[in-house]
Amino acid sequence: MSKIIESGKGFVLPDDKVQQSVSRRKFLGYGAAASALVIGIAACNKDDDNMPSNGINLGSGDAGILNYAYALEQLEAAFYTQVIASPYSGGSVAEMALIKDIRDHEIAHREFFKNALGSGAIQALEPDFSSVNFSSRESVLNTAKAFEDLGVSAYNGAGKLIVKADYLVLAGKIVSVEARHAAYIRDIISNGTFADNTVVDTNGLDKSRTPAEVLTIANTFLKTKVTGSNLPTS
Amino acid sequence: MNLKHIFNEIEKVDPEVYERLDTRRSAMKQFSGIAGKLALAAVPIALGSMFKKAYGQSNSTLFNILNYALTLEYLEAKFYSNALAAATAGNLAIPTGAPRTAIQTIGAHETAHVAFLKTAITSSGGTAVPEPTFDFSAGNGSNNGPFAAVFTNYALFLAVAQVFEDTGVRAYKGQAAEPALMANNDVLTAALNIHSVEARHASHIRQMRKTNGGLVPAGVDVKPWITLKQSGVDSAAVQASYDGEETTTQATIQIVNINGQTISANAASEAFDEPLTMPQVLAIVDPFIV
């Protein structure tokens, strides 16, 4: 039975764990034209695109969160690009067509963030897929499942860190597509596991992960390491 | 459900609704009286603008959003509960095994969402709206609307399920950037965590539809994601749930063939799901609520 935990602003959610206190963020720029996206981000990330010895720093603020998403989309796009370039055996024609769709979606996400970030974008990341056997359907699909579930939890966890409403909506537009991918990949591994209890809790809620949790996992698939040390945490 | 009914429901939980909407209480009462005669499409727009005026950026706004979410979850939970009862009674041929189990899983999640949202509202000092009476035929209470066979025809049941799930995804997405939600991290995160579960459901229902066949127009493909504004459902009644999904431009950036990549219009539209506003969703679900 879930406990009821009081949160910072007197709003209460039923949950199994202590809720973090609510943020005191201000909502600057809500309602601003979406076209401000490109310029705004480029302007506020000039100092964050250096590469310290501990890896690529994603930067701070909303630009940092968008670079965080850009890093994850780079990883996913590179993975599916290789899957389609050297397809595993044992997948049906229909399955490979949908995997190709997923590749195109991830490339679209990657290129979108690249353009949106403009000169504030982090560099292209070099993936490390040495742990993946691209000739094995099982290896590829299990990696795909991990990436998609990771992506869903990453966007879910990043939502509250975003200040500008337009960016939150963009993240929302992408996360549900990642969830559709996740459900499909899970179902072709084992039908009916689209939303099983390894990802959905007893309240019917999906997982959220912090950037630190996500990057620890993502870095195991990256030669170019990424750090989110300056990202917002609440 | 016409506007008068909506106001009556709100008045139960917020007796001051008329004063919030307008100090000229009698004028508003009069307006709600004639609202039933207004064109359906105009009602949610009037309602939305009035809500905006009536509630400040306070917990009232948050309760309003949560009660809206709760209403959509009531709809889904009751839909699957009725379907499973019909299947048990032998009236609806949801195959036993994987299909039946999947519907049970989805239904259990929707029921959990109802309980979660009710608890969130009531334990925060708000009042949860009561469960409406539904007409899943989309007949506005006649029980003889375009989907009258929804609990006897498996293909139609899956089609309506797909529309509910896809609409649910768009509805949550449409609320995420509301200031009242962005101001409360816990509620925002919970809403996002429900949003992605609805998308997982949509993906699976779409796969079930593809397996079962019977998609229209002939030759159309239904994938786990939404291609352009295709529903694959033989009813113009559902089109409002898909209109707008065909966009290929995000934040003024054209996604088709972006940066020299070969990205088709289909893929560009599939890669981003689009939000719906509260008035748009209320218009979509209106025929299902008595």
Q: What is the mean pLDDT of residues A103-127?
A: 98
More confident residue, B73 or A35: B73
At B214 the pLDDT is 83
Q: What is the pLDDT of residues B230-273, one digit of tens each?
A: 999 989 999 999 999 999 999 999 999 999 999 999 999 999 99
At B42 the pLDDT is 40
Q: What is the mean pLDDT of residues A20-46?
A: 37
CA distance B255 to chain A (A): 6
Phi-psi region of A90 (alpha: psi -120 to 50; beta: other; left: phi over 0): left
b/e A57-93 (16+ beta carbons within 10 angstroms → b): bbbbbbbbbbbbbbbbbbbbbbbbbbbeeebbeebee
Residue of A nearest to B210 (CA): A94
The whole-angstrom separation of Cα B3 and Cα B18 is 13
Of B120, B201, B262, the CB nearest to A195: B201
Give percent of chain B above pLDDT 90. Answer: 74
Instruction: With CB atoms and an 8 Å threshold, state whether B123 touches A4.
Output: yes
Q: Is the pLDDT of residue A45 over 50?
A: no
Q: Cβ contacts (< 8 Å) between A113 and chain B: which residues? A: none
Query: How far apart are the two ends of chain A, measured CA to CA in Å?
Result: 27
Q: Which amino acid is at A80?
A: Y
For residue B179, give the 3-state DSSP assignment. helix
Q: Looking at this predicted complex, what is its ipTM?
A: 0.83
In angstroms and rounded to an integer, the radius of gyration of the C-alpha atoms of chain A is 18
The whole-angstrom separation of Cα A173 and Cα B224 is 15
Q: Cβ contacts (< 8 Å) between A183 and chain B: which residues? A: 199-201, 203-204, 224
Which of A14-28, B60-74, B127-141 shows the lowest per-residue confidence on average (mean pLDDT)?
A: A14-28
Q: Which helix (H) or strand (E) holds A4?
A: strand A3-6
Q: Which string of DSSP letters, residue by residue, matches A18-71?
A: PPPPPP----TTTT--TTHHHHHHHHH-GGG----TT-EE--SHHHHHHHHHHH
Q: What is the mean pLDDT of residues B144-165?
A: 97
Q: Is the pLDDT of residue B50 over 50?
A: no
How far from the centroid of its chain's Cα atoms is residue A27's Cα?
23
A169 Cβ under 8 Å from any chain B Cβ: yes
Q: Is the pLDDT of residue A13 over 80?
A: no
What is the number of domains present in chain A? Answer: 1
The whole-angstrom separation of Cα A45 and Cα A34 is 18
Q: What is the mean pLDDT of residues B53-70?
A: 77
Instruction: With CB atoms and an 8 Å threshold, state whether B184 touches A25.
Output: no
Query: Which architecture characterizes domain B55-245+271-288 according to CATH?
Result: Up-down Bundle (1.20)
CA distance A71 to chain B (A): 17
At B252 the pLDDT is 97
A200 Cβ under 8 Å from any chain B Cβ: yes
At B218 the pLDDT is 85
The whole-angstrom separation of Cα A10 and Cα A13 is 10
How far from the centroid of its chain's Cα atoms is residue B276's Cα?
9
Q: Is the pLDDT of residue A173 over 70?
A: yes
User: Which residues 54-93 on chain A approach chain B with CB closer than 8 angstroms?
Assistant: none
For residue A14, give the 3-state DSSP assignment. strand
Instruction: With CB atoms and an 8 Å threshold, state whether B173 touches A169.
Output: yes
At B41 the pLDDT is 38
Number of neighbours of residue A176 by Cβ within 10 angstroms: 30
Q: Is the pLDDT of residue A141 over 60?
A: yes
Q: Cβ contacts (< 8 Å) between A178 and chain B: which residues? A: 196
User: What CATH number is given to the structural domain containing A105?
Assistant: 1.20.1260.10
Residue of B nearest to A164 (CA): B177
Which of A37-41, A56-60, A77-81 shows the lowest per-residue confidence on average (mean pLDDT)?
A: A37-41
Q: Is the pLDDT of residue A52 over 90?
A: no
Q: Which helix (H) or strand (E) holds B109?
A: helix B98-122
Q: Is the pLDDT of residue A181 over 70?
A: yes
Instruction: With CB atoms and an 8 Å threshold, state whether B196 touches A206.
Output: yes
Asked if residues B167 and B238 have their Cβ atoms less than 8 Å apart, the reply is no
Residue B15 banded pLDDT, cuts 50, 70, 90: low
Question: Half-sphere exposure of residue B181, counting CA atoms within 13 Å on the CB side?
Answer: 24
Asked if residues B187 and B181 have their Cβ atoms less than 8 Å apart, the reply is yes
More confident residue, B57 or B133: B133
Phi-psi region of A204 (alpha: psi -120 to 50; beta: other; left: phi over 0): left
Six-digit token string for B129: 């709206």
Residue A4 banded pLDDT, cuts 50, 70, 90: very low
CA distance A38 to chain B (A): 8
Instruction: With CB atoms and an 8 Å threshold, state whether A191 touches B98.
Output: yes
- Domain ranges across chain B: 1-54, 55-245+271-288
Instruction: With CB atoms and an 8 Å threshold, state whether B258 touches A108.
Output: yes
In terms of C-beta density within 10 A (0-12 exposed, 13-18 middle, 19 or more buried), how is residue A24 classed?
exposed
Q: Cβ contacts (< 8 Å) between B110 and chain A: which residues? A: 204
Q: What is the pLDDT of residues A205-233, one digit of tens each?
A: 999 999 999 999 999 999 999 999 999 99
Asked if residues B4 and B32 have their Cβ atoms less than 8 Å apart, the reply is yes
Give the residue among A122, A78, A107 at the shortest CA–CA distance from A174: A107
Residue B250 φ then ψ, to 5° = -125, 120
The whole-angstrom separation of Cα A229 and Cα B89 is 57
The whole-angstrom separation of Cα B191 and Cα A202 is 15
Residue B219 banded pLDDT, cuts 50, 70, 90: confident
In angstroms and rounded to an integer, the radius of gyration of the C-alpha atoms of chain B is 20
Q: Is the pLDDT of residue B87 over 80?
A: yes
In terms of C-beta density within 10 A (0-12 exposed, 13-18 middle, 19 or more buried), how is residue B153 classed?
middle
Chain mean pLDDT for chain A: 84
How far from the centroid of its chain's Cα atoms is residue A81's Cα?
17
The verdict on residue A167 lying in a domain is: yes
Q: Which residue range forms the structural domain that includes residue A162?
A: 32-227
At B130 the pLDDT is 97
Asked if residues B290 and B140 have their Cβ atoms less than 8 Å apart, the reply is yes
At B59 the pLDDT is 75
Give percent of chain A above pLDDT 90. Answer: 76
Q: Cβ contacts (< 8 Å) between B190 and chain A: which residues? A: 13, 15, 205
Residue B14 banded pLDDT, cuts 50, 70, 90: low
At A54 the pLDDT is 66
Instruction: With CB atoms and an 8 Å threshold, state whether A195 touches B124.
Output: no
CA distance B181 to chain A (A): 10
Q: What is the mean pLDDT of residues B181-187?
A: 94
At B216 the pLDDT is 86
In terms of C-beta density within 10 A (0-12 exposed, 13-18 middle, 19 or more buried), how is residue A170 classed?
buried
Q: Cβ contacts (< 8 Å) between A29 and chain B: which residues? A: none
The verdict on residue A219 lying in a domain is: yes
Instruction: With CB atoms and an 8 Å threshold, state whether A204 touches B112.
Output: yes
Residue A14 banded pLDDT, cuts 50, 70, 90: low
Instruction: With CB atoms and an 8 Å threshold, state whether B182 touches A25.
Output: yes
Q: What is the mean pLDDT of residues B43-63?
A: 52
Q: Is the pLDDT of residue B8 over 80?
A: no
Instruction: With CB atoms and an 8 Å threshold, state whether A175 touches B201.
Output: no
Residue A121 is given by DSSP the state P
A23 Cβ under 8 Å from any chain B Cβ: yes
Q: Can you list the pairs that A58-62 forms with residues at least 24 positions away whose Cβ atoms lie under 8 Å?
A: A58/A122, A58/A211, A58/A226, A58/A227, A58/A228, A58/A230, A58/A231, A59/A120, A59/A122, A59/A230, A59/A231, A60/A230, A60/A231, A60/A232, A61/A163, A61/A232, A62/A162, A62/A163, A62/A164, A62/A167
The whole-angstrom separation of Cα A227 and Cα A229 is 6
Q: Are strands A12-15 and A3-6 parallel, antiparallel or unpaired?
A: antiparallel
Q: Cβ contacts (< 8 Å) between B197 and chain A: which residues? A: 179, 195, 200, 204-206
Asked if residues A65 and A142 have their Cβ atoms less than 8 Å apart, the reply is no
Q: Cβ contacts (< 8 Å) between A195 and chain B: which residues? A: 105-106, 109, 197, 200-201, 204
